[in-house]
Structure 1
Amino acid sequence: MTTQIKSTIPVLASLDIAESADFYTARLGFKKLSQYDDYAIVARDGAEIHFWLCRDRSIAENTSCYLRVTDTEALFKEFAENGVQSDPPAVRPWGMKELYVIDPHGNLLKFGEPA
Structure 2
Amino acid sequence: MTQPLLQATIPVLASLDLAESEAFYTLRLGFATRARHADYLIVERDGCELHFWRCDDRHIAQNTSCYVRADTRALHADFTQRGLALEPPQERAWGMRELYVIDPHGNLLKFGEAV
TM-score (norm 1): 0.95
Any residues of structure 2 matched to 1:79-98 within 5 Å, and which? Answer: 79-98=79-98
Aligned pairs, number: 114
Taking the aligned partners of 1:14 and 1:83, their CA distance within structure 2 comes to 21
Report what 2:41 is aligned to.
40
Between the aligned partners of 1:39 and 1:83, the Cα distance in structure 2 is: 26
CA distance in 2 between partners of 1:62 and 1:84 (Å): 21
Letter in 2 for 1:40: L
Q: Percent identity?
A: 61
1:85 Cα deviation (Å)?
1.9
Secondary structure at 1:5 match in 2: coil
The residue identity in structure 1 corresponding to 2:53 is: W
How far 1:84 sits from its partner (Å)? 1.2
Q: Is structure 2 residue 104 aligned with structure 1 residue 104?
A: yes
Structure 1 residue 37, shift from structure 2 partner:
1.4
Provide TM-score, normalisation by structure 2. 0.95
Task: State the alpha-carbon separation in 2 of the partners of residues 106 and 81 from structure 1.
Answer: 22
CA RMSD in angstroms comes to 1.4
Q: Say yes or no: does 1:10 pair with 2:11.
A: yes
Unaligned runs of 5+ in 1: none
